[in-house]
Structure 1
Amino acid sequence: MSIPQRPIAVLAADVASRDRPSAYPEPFASRMRGRTKRVLGDLFGLQNFGVNLTRLEPGAVSSLRHVHSRQDEFIYVLEGELALHTDEGLTRLSPGMCAGFAAGRDDAHRLINDTSGVVLYLEIGDRSQGDQASYPDDDLRAHLIDGCWVFSHKDGRPY
């Protein structure tokens, strides 16, 4: 078996965006319009953590508001301004600012581009097997099984 060729370095903006805009099932996936992810970590064969260069158009959101049971997440704003939406409310973020979300915290989060400009940020998260995500504002929960998210209603019915 041959080992796939991996680049040594790339210009992040030149990496093709992810084909599927969202892993969420409908009706949630369509709420991710205006979000584009360039999956950088996979390009280099990273297995322990992922890195995405994410672009939010005006009015777009990063995700549904959520928490992870095992996955730590970190974001670093490169361009534009946006709102970090947590249980505490909205916090303004601008270029050079960062935020982290430790696994197991009950403070759900998402990013909202509530401006008229484009936002660009890096998101980094680990790939802890057995991770679960909960969504306090939506009838949704997720389980990471064999590297894939499996979604269900809060009562356990599958989507």
Structure 2
Amino acid sequence: MNETSERSPLALFASDVEERKKLSSYPEPFRSRMSKRVKRPLGDLFGINNFGVNLTELLPGGESSIMHCHSKQDEFVYIVSGRPTLVTDRGEMELAPGMCAGFPAAGLAHHLVNRSDERVVYLEIGDRTPGDSAGYPHDDLVANLGASGWLFTHKDGNPY
């Protein structure tokens, strides 16, 4: 047993976990689009390193991310409450509590948008495969996962 797992809680209420302080790692003008998103990182509290788990809240008008697709990371979402709109390359659909959606690496570009008047709460789960990158089909943005986190450039390679 490692030191982290010895200090980790056995269980907790996800809603009691402190909100992530950092709004987003996106550069502007994209970061401010995340102002109606609140993430509570859950997996890290248990010493989980191979994948991330967040309890995420979208206020009305909020979006989960910039529409994107990962090269290596698989992603999964489970809707706890509210009715977000799932936007993908194949179109849009409203999701409801109890529904889930999965996005294999190199699959559909996607994101969630809260077009309702109520908050949306969902679990997001994604792996942390080294060497991942993300493409953003509707924006001049590319992300590459480096040793110190996500590095963002324009599609022509110039940094933000």
Identity %: 56
Deviating runs (4+, > 4 A) in structure 1? none
List aligned pairs for 1:139-158, cutoff 5 A: 139-146=140-147, 148-158=149-159
Structure 1 spans left out of the alignment, 5+ residues: none
Structure 2 spans left out of the alignment, 5+ residues: none
* Residues 113-138 of structure 1, C-alpha deviations (whole Å, 9 max, x = no match): 00000100000000000000000111
RMSD: 1.1
Query: 1:129–1:147: 8 Å Cα contact kept in structure 2?
Result: no
List aligned pairs for 1:78-93, cutoff 5 A: 78-93=80-95
Question: In structure 1, how many angstroms separate the alpha carbons of the residues matched to 2:142 and 2:68?
Answer: 9
User: Secondary structure of the equivalent of 1:43?
Assistant: helix
> What is the match of residue 3 of structure 2?
3
TM score, norm. by length of structure 2: 0.95
> What is the match of residue 64 of structure 2?
62
Question: In structure 1, how many angstroms separate the alpha carbons of the residues matched to 2:33 and 2:70?
Answer: 20
* Residues 89-126 of structure 1, C-alpha deviations (whole Å, 9 max, x = no match): 11110000000000011x21000000000100000000
Query: 1:67–1:104: 8 Å Cα contact kept in structure 2?
Result: yes
Could you tell me which amino acid in structure 2 is paired with residue 121 of structure 1? Y
Question: In structure 1, how many angstroms separate the alpha carbons of the residues matched to 2:126 and 2:147?
Answer: 16
Shift of 1:77: 0.2
List aligned pairs for 1:101-120, cutoff 5 A: 101-105=103-107, 107-120=108-121
Q: How many pairs align?
A: 157
Shift of 1:3: 2.5
Shift of 1:6: 1.3
Match 1:29 to one of 3, 28, 31? 31
* Residues 55-94 of structure 1, C-alpha deviations (whole Å, 9 max, x = no match): 0000100000000000000000000101000011111100
> What is the match of residue 73 of structure 2?
71
